Amino acid sequence: MGKQEFIGELGALQEEALKAFLDAKDEAALEAARVRFLGAKGLLPGISKKMGALDKDARPEAGRALNEAKGRLASALNDRLAELKGAALKRDAIDVTLPGRPVPLGSRHLIARTSAEICAIFARMGLSITEGPEVESDWYNFEALNFPPDHPSRDMQQSLFVGDGLLLRTHTSCVQIRVMESQPPPVWIVVPGKTYRRDDDLTHSPMFNQIEGLVVDKGITMADLKGVLQRFVDEYFAEGTKIRLRPSFFPFTEPSAEVDIGCVSCGGKGCRLCKGTGWLEVLGCGMVNPALYHNVGYDPSEVSGFAFGMGVDRMAMLKYKLDAIGRFYSGDARFLRQFP
């Protein structure tokens, strides 16, 4: 056998093998083609045996051609195998027998939930849930609530004004006036909503959430106020939670009080949370100042009432033992996911 003949035969075999690899429709067909051409008893090893019959000086070139053919075929085989595997993967990508993937469900924000929970407690005591606007006039936010003209919260440094005598309400107490002026007594309402102040630290956020309560009816006394608040802390924190009322001041209530509860962390022994006092301040309250009745056209000799206001964020922080108010508003899903 001559050198030219050998190389021609090798070339033809290589073409045949390349075509067979490309024609293989699946991995099994490709494997059969591999065995046929490159297997131990395959056609390529078969042809290499014929090298022995070549002239001595023809062998190096023939050997080189054989090695080249082997290399080309091995890489063609690999390429085709990868192609077939990719196609198989694509085909298997939709397995209709697989169980469905669960879609992660969102949940209500902790503040929205806490607010709803607190409102529901008061609703069970007969108060109706109602709301008011977040942009308020000086009248509803201050004047009608008996704030004197020089009260510090009317200062630009304390409240967020939006121009034209309007401001972002600094408390939900404005809704007391809005509801009373729109209807005759009796009034039994609880008012959740966003409020705004120029405050920003670990326990204050420029936007926060309050819940206001107002009950105006015949013969309402401070005992009613205390009873309603006791019922509230029993339900919201735990049955038997202690409360105490400390004298305080708000322009729209008289007398006014701050309400403390027995510390939820140490139970009253004194700890870091309650700064060693055993008590935590949770809300402000008082008997409706008769000055308000004049502003809304109620007769103070006919009715009396109480009001209270609390921070929802603080209520949630106390219940869920959280250290910073900013966590509620950072939008960090890792935090929110802990309260499904």
Give the binding site for ligand PHE (CB under 6 A). 171, 173, 212, 250, 253, 284-286, 307-309
Location of structure tokens 């910073």: 324
Nearest CA among 279, 111, 70, 99 for reference residue 193: 111
CB of 121 to ligand PHE, least distance (A): 17
Task: Find out whether 96 and 45 touch, Cβ atoms under 8 Å.
Answer: no
DSSP string of 107-122? ---HHHHHHHHHHHHH
Return the number of the residue (213 or 262) whose C-beta is nearest ligand PHE: 213
Q: How far is the CB of 339 from ligand PHE (least distance, A)?
A: 26
Written as one letter, the residue type at 21 is F
3-state SS assignment for residue 219: coil
Cβ 101 to ligand PHE, closest distance in Å? 47
CB of 213 to ligand PHE, least distance (A): 7
Q: In the complex with ligand PHE, which residue's Cβ is closer, 59 or 198?
A: 198
Q: Amino acid identity, residue 224?
A: D
Q: For residues 324 and 332, is the Cβ–Cβ distance under 8 A? A: no
The nearest distance, CB 247 to ligand PHE, in angstroms, is 13
* Least distance between ligand PHE and beta carbon 338 (Å): 29
Q: Closer CB to ligand PHE, residue 13 or residue 280? A: 280
Residues with Cβ < 8 Å from 220, sequence gap 6 or more?
303, 304, 305, 306
End-to-end CA distance of the chain: 82
Is the CB of 16 or the CB of 143 nearer to ligand PHE? Answer: 143
Residue nearest to ligand PHE (CB): 309
The amino acid that residue 236 corresponds to is Y
- 142/328 with CB nearer ligand PHE: 142
Closer residue to ligand PHE, CB minimum distance, 14 or 172: 172
